[in-house]
Amino acid sequence: MTFNVEETNLMCCFDTSSRRKLITEMKNLPLNELDEEMEELLFKTVRKLEAMSDAEFDALYIAPDSMMDD
């Protein structure tokens, strides 16, 4: 499963030490603080995270786009 740049950057705002912690933090984010586009991005990302296994998550390299090599 692949995540796009926006999804990866969003995940970097949370604790990525485990899939479970990441999902929990993302689900606990108050939705009234998000605009519609960010809310949809959050839901989409959480769905992808829920669909993958812990082993698949552990194999991911999650870093903000600004830290990726060109």
Counts for the chain of helices (H) and strands (E), in that order: 4, 0
Question: How open is the CA angle 60-65-66, to the nearest 5 degrees?
Answer: 130
Residuewise pLDDT in 10s, the chain (70 residues):
689 999 999 999 999 999 999 999 999 999 888 899 999 999 999 999 999 999 999 999 888 776 555 4
pTM: predicted TM-score of the whole model, two decimal places: 0.86
Phi, psi of 29 (to 5 degrees): -70, 125
Strands (E), 1-70: none
